[in-house]
């Protein structure tokens, strides 16, 4: 049986108050908490620092989607208390390398390649692997999801190939409870859920349901 994926709650807010309330409400039901890209822009590293303080036992990911200045941005995220941070897949290899090295120099810290908008994923993947990158976020972006892109067999195929290459793959992007089953035949490492938990009538109950689904297919 494959290792169970980690459940990660994405806090895509533009204000601190609802983000902190949600982190405190649902933090115990999830292993990882993401400071979403909008929140990192609206509130900066104060959001990372505060969630780290409120949720000392969670893994924290800063979804900064860094395009340049990789080493410094990784340092800023890690210094603020994040365990994980993301670098945009479109970033130059130099940026990827510098963020990777910053993570490598610290215990328990990792950088992820964020695949939003990357068209030639398999062509780029071996370059990232050569640097040493181990993790990536396979992401159907919000804007794509709002227009036409739906999850399909081609996504599963690419995710499977990335895992075969040795990557640990997180999946994200408009995932609801009914979509957990979709990934059951690939050994995903992290299931990223934002709106489906945050906007549920009972976010705690919804997070529990995601854990039950994960246990059903990987338990
Ligand atoms: C948007 C993101 C989101 O955090 C990610 O898509 C998860 O949120 P949701 O489940 O609501 O799609 O990185 O760029
Ligand atoms: Mg995100």
Q: Give the domain CATH number at 90.
A: 3.20.20.70
List the residue whose alpha carbon is closest to atom 6 of ligand 1: 173
Q: Per residue in 181-197, pLDDT tens?
A: 999 999 999 999 999 99
Task: Using pLDDT thresholds of 50, 70 and 90, give the confidence band for residue 150.
Answer: confident
Confidence (pLDDT) at 219 = 86
* Distance of CA 124 from the midpoint of ligand 1 (Å): 23
Structural domain span for residue 126? 6-218
How many CA within 13 A on the CB side of residue 109? 22
Predicted TM-score of the model (pTM):
0.97
Q: Per residue in 42-55, pLDDT tens?
A: 999 999 999 999 99
Q: Would 1 be classed as within a structural domain?
A: no
Q: Would 92 be classed as within a structural domain?
A: yes
Q: Would 120 be classed as within a structural domain?
A: yes
Number of domains in the chain: 1
Pocket of ligand 1 (CB under 6 A): 10, 12, 34, 36-37, 63, 141-142, 172-175, 192-196
Q: Per residue in 83-132, pLDDT tens?
A: 999 999 999 999 999 999 999 999 999 999 999 999 999 999 999 999 99
Q: Per residue in 85-97, pLDDT tens?
A: 999 999 999 999 9
Q: Would 208 be classed as within a structural domain?
A: yes
């Amino acid at each position: 049986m494959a290792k169970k994926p980690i459940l990660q709650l994405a806090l895509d807010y533009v204000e601190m108050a609802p983000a902190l309330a949600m982190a405190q409400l649902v933090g115990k039901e999830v292993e990882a908490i993401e400071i979403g890209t909008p929140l990192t822009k609206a509130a900066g590293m104060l959001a990372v620092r505060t969630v780290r303080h409120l949720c000392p036992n969670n893994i924290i990911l800063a979804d900064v989607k860094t395009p340049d200045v990789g080493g410094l941005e990784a340092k800023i995220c890690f210094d603020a208390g994040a365990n994980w941070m993301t670098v945009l897949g479109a970033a130059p290899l130099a940026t990827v390398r510098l963020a990777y090295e910053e993570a490598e120099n610290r215990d328990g810290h990792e950088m992820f390649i964020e695949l939003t908008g990357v068209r030639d994923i398999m062509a780029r993947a071996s370059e990232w692997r050569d640097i040493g990158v181990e993790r990536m976020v396979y992401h159907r972006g919000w804007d794509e999801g709002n227009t036409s892109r739906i999850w399909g067999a081609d996504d599963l195929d690419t995710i499977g190939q990335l895992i075969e290459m040795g990557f640990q793959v997180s999946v994200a992007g408009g995932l609801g409870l009914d979509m957990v089953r979709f990934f059951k035949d690939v050994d995903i490492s992290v299931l990223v859920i934002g709106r489906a938990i945050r906007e549920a009538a009972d976010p705690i109950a919804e997070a529990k349901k995601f854990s039950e689904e994960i246990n059903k297919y990987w338990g």
